[in-house]
Each structure stands twice: as structure tokens, then as C-alpha cells.
Structure 1
Amino acid sequence: MIVRREVSDDVEAIRAVTAAAFRGVAHSAPPLEPGGDPGEATLVSWLRADAGWIPQLSLVAVEDDVVVGHVVATRAHVADRPALGLGPVSVLPARQRAGVGSALMHAVLGAADALDEALVGLLGEPAFYRRFGFVPARSMGILAPDPSWGDYFQVRPLTHYDGTTGQFAYAAPFDRL
């Protein structure tokens, strides 16, 4: 498996991987049209068209020339300071629990740090994301976009984190879900 930046030829494969990864999952965003793909598949397209898109932080995992996973981080903010919103993270169901998601997480966090980003936020299972250095956001004085998310909204400080606190805001397309 290799992890590399997304290229234009990957767009349809990324949509298919994201749809497969979130189809039937209890916490996924509902389809935006009856019988359509889960909302996360459409979200990636919306993010790609948004000013918050950071091409260096849209990564795919490839095995035998087939995209089996994808992760993206886009521009977010804490108060008025730049941050990153991570997600969705998608892995084909047949390749889940085989290290693909972990490889994508390590790659995107390393790339974000290399780009001098300060902080990454995400909504996800604390038991899973703790291994990547994520902590409940409120423990660092960062407020979730939705207070009901509790400890499921987490942040990971990077090398250039300066202690900024305040309200976290994802890129605008997240508000459309």
C-alpha cells in the first residue's frame, strides 16, 4: 500500500470509497437525495470546490493501483485563527481494520505538521482517535461546533500550536449536511 496525494483521476474512486465506507453506518450523514450515497460522499465534492480545500491534505491509500482509502483535511478556524478540520476518513469495508485508516491518519497529520498547521479537529470515536494524539477539545478550551458532540469532538495540537482557544468552525460545506 502507498499513501499519496489525490490526483484528478482519483475523484470518482474517492466518491465510491467514501460512499461504501459510510453506507449503512449509524452515525453517517443521511443521503441528500432518496436512495443516494451517504452525505459524506457528497461532502467531499463540496469541500473540493470550497476555498477551504487544501490539495496537499487530500490523500489516498492505493493497493495494486486501486484506491482503497481516502482522508482529507480542510481549512477550519478556532476563533479567528487557522486550524484544520479532518474528515471524512474513508476505507473500503473489505480493507477496514487492516491498517489503511491508521496509515492515512499518520500521513495526513505528518503532512499538516510539515505545512506548519497548528491544530486539527475532528468528530469521531475517542477510543480510536486517542492513538493519534487527539484529546477532547473542551479539555483544551476549544468549543465544538455543536455542544452535544461532547468528547466525540476532539483536537490534536501540532508543532506550531500556540494555545489558541475558542469556538471551532469547520469549512462552510460541513454546515450543508
Structure 2
Amino acid sequence: MRSEDRTTVSEDAARVLAALRARGATLAVAESLTGGLVAAELTAVPGASRAFRGSVTAYATDLKREILGVDGPLLDERGAVDAEVARQMAAGVRRALGATWGVATTGVAGPEPQDGRPVGTVYVAVAGPEGREKVNALRLNGGRTDIRKESVRSVLALLLGELPGNGRAQDTEENGGT
């Protein structure tokens, strides 16, 4: 990964934490394909503990069900690489860790397809107060490292865009909220 890419992800992590602190809000992270990279970016920012509650790296499918509360029949029917799974992971980690906001990553970083999904298929999700939820489907190119790093950048950018008053948030209906 190029150093300028690293800086962008680090800057996004710092912006997320500053925005959360300004609102008195907290964040919990559920990760699958990123394997802890989102949490690592967040905790690299000094003072992260004022907004970051913690993370669950649920790499194994059964942990998504048992720890994050993802619906078992959904996992059986669609597998772990699915938009609804990502949404339930974000909501589940938010609930489990008692955070204002939850984010999640799930997908296929490679080198082989998974659950009938090609390498580069990724879903990032955010869940927040008042039922505010959004999932983005991504189709990423590159090798395993590139896909994982871009997934981190994408989930941080998604959260930034969903935080109220952040200038990039859309109305609730567009975001899949109720």
C-alpha cells in the first residue's frame, strides 16, 4: 500500500473519532474480512478511547451468529458475504458493546471465491440511533491486501457520511432507515 493511501485511512479514522467525540457518541466495530484492521486504524489515533468502545473480529461464520446475533437461517441460506449479514453485524456489535454507532465489514478478500461470491465482493455497514442503518455493496479490485485496506477506508467513509450534521449524510429514507 502506498504511504498516501495510509495517510488517507488514518485521517479518516481521526475524523471519525473527532466527529463522534463532538457528539458525545461512541463506536463499536464488527469485522470479518478486515480482521481487526478497522480497530487498528481507530486505536492508532491518540485519545481513541474517548469514543471507541471496542471491536469483535468474527472471522468464523458461527461467531457472527453466536456473538453478533446474525440470523442463523440467513447465514445458512446466503452465507456470510451478504448485505443483510453486514447490516445485522453492525447492529449486533452496536448492541453487544453498548455503542451509539456500530460498523461492520464482511466480504471476500481472496485468493478464492467464498459463498459463491467472487474475490473483491465486500459489504460495509453502519447502524446508529433511531434505526439509522446503511449498507454499501462494493466490488473491489486488487490483491488481498488492497481489498482489505479499501474496505477499511470505505467503512470509515460510510460512517462519516452518516453522522448527523457532518455535511455528507443523506436523508433517512435514502439511507434505508425507517
Q: Same fold (TM over 0.5)?
A: no
With normalisation by structure 2, the TM-score equals: 0.29
With normalisation by structure 1, the TM-score equals: 0.29
Structure with more of its chain in helix, by fraction: 2
Structure with more of its chain in strand, by fraction: 1
